[in-house]
Amino acid sequence: MSLRWRIILLVMLAAALSALAGLAVTIGGARVAVRAETEAALNQARTQPAVITGHARHVTHLFVPDGTAIPPPNPSHPGVPSWFVALIWDGAPDILLAAPGGQWLLRADPVDEVAEVWSDTAALAWTALVMLALLLAALHVLVGRALAPLHGFAQALDRLAQGQAAGTPTGDNIPELTTIGQRIAHLDRELTVARAENAALSHSLIALQDQERAQLARDLHDELGPMLFGIRVDAHAIARAAGTGPVPAADAIARADAIANAAAGIRDLSRRILNRLRPMGLDHLHAADILRDLMDGLARQHTDIRFTTSLDDDAFTRSEAADLTLYRIAHEALLNALRHGRPTHVGLSIEGDDQGVTLRVTDNGGGLGNDAPAGHGIIGMRERVRALGGDFTILTDDAGLTLVQATLPVPLSSPQTQEHHG
């Protein structure tokens, strides 16, 4: 059943119950009035015998000769249903008055009063039916108009489901429906922003993949290729020299050192490539120790910057995804602080409570502002945090102090603090 008909039926039910209650009160009052008037007429006829010879309202009188049986009541209410008569009048005992040669029978007969009540009640009932019919028609029109915005809301939601703009659904100045329309419009704006962010993220991921592939290709071509070529040349030289006679020790040692150096270069290149794909130390070392090593390395490279670290070791033991997320965000935020600003102080802290873990990277270089473009790995950091159900924010004040903050739903214990000076 539609909402329109539910509202109409509820209102009609309330109106019908009110009409029935009014009829019940009317009939109850008429019942009391008829009995009071009839009993008053009987009492008057009994106390004033002269009334018997005339016409007494609501009372019939009959002379019953001695030795004659009293006739049974023969109620006659023309035009009035018997069930209605039973509602209004349930009878009264006959009164017998002694008289010469017999007795007078006085019997209540409120036929006129009952007919009058029936006429009034029938008129009231018909009036109520007409009013209910008019109310039904009015409700059908008014409720339909009041609920008309719901159809627009449904169309707006259908457009949202299809990835289209919802438009601006209105509530026709009905506060409740206006609120719903405003929320649909707000949802439309949020979905538009989310779709734009998803599109930007997809573009960034594709660009990042292409960039990473290009970087790997350059590393393999520019570094790995020459080192492999050098190993091959030295190996062939040793083989040729050995084929012509004894190889001079100095020459063999030089060739062997060259091969060893090339192998060491290949090892270092492999480590750099693998570390870009995934920090190798996470499989063997504590993530907090890896971040401390990272901060130590940055402090050695940038001696004019003060680095401070405050880490909670327990924060890195909850899940592999959380460990990797904390490392990636810290690494990206630290590099952004150094690349895009001129800080004299950079801080890294990871702390938390029973509600979750909070990672903060702070610097005073003013590199990233509140209106920073969706570059510098910001989209990637934000999506990593969202994937774990957390929150990610970047704030910069007028003094150039920048805060990169990520909150993850991971419980913690207590922090340990250390300071690095360049």
The DSSP-derived string for 295-334 is: HHHHHHH-TTSEEEEEE-GGGGSS-HHHHHHHHHHHHHHH
pLDDT of residue 414: 41
Please give the helix or strand (H or E) that residue 98 lies within, else none.
Answer: strand 95-99
Which carries the bigger pLDDT value, residue 98 or residue 5?
5
Which carries the bigger pLDDT value, residue 363 or residue 314?
363
**The pairing of beta strand 95-99 with beta strand 102-108:** antiparallel
Contacts of 176 (CB under 8 A, 6+ apart): none
Which carries the bigger pLDDT value, residue 169 or residue 23?
23
**For residues 91-105, average pLDDT:** 71
pLDDT of residue 340: 82
160 pLDDT above the threshold of 90? no
- Amino acid 97 reads L
Domains defined along the chain, listed by start:
3-70+77-146 (no CATH), 286-421 (3.30.565.10)
Listed range (160-174, 310-324, 362-376, 386-400) with the worst mean pLDDT: 362-376
* Average pLDDT score, the chain: 78
pLDDT of residue 75: 62
Closest CA to 229 of 239, 240, 221: 221
For residue 349, name the pLDDT band (cuts at 50, 70, 90). very high
Which carries the bigger pLDDT value, residue 58 or residue 124?
124
Query: Rounded to whole angstroms, how far apart are CA atoms 148 and 175?
Result: 14
Query: Rounded to whole angstroms, how far apart are CA atoms 393 and 398?
Result: 17
313 pLDDT above the threshold of 50? yes
165 pLDDT above the threshold of 60? yes
Residue given tokens 């040692």 in the structure block:
253
The fraction of the chain above a pLDDT of 90, given in percent, is: 8
Q: Which two tokens stand for residue 276?
A: 């870009």
pLDDT of residue 171: 66
54 pLDDT above the threshold of 80? no
**For residues 312-333, average pLDDT:** 81
pLDDT of residue 422: 44
- β-bridge partners, 75: none
**For residues 102-117, average pLDDT:** 73
49 pLDDT above the threshold of 80? no
281 pLDDT above the threshold of 80? no
The fraction of the chain above a pLDDT of 70, given in percent, is: 78
**The pairing of beta strand 402-408 with beta strand 391-396:** antiparallel
**For residues 381-409, average pLDDT:** 87
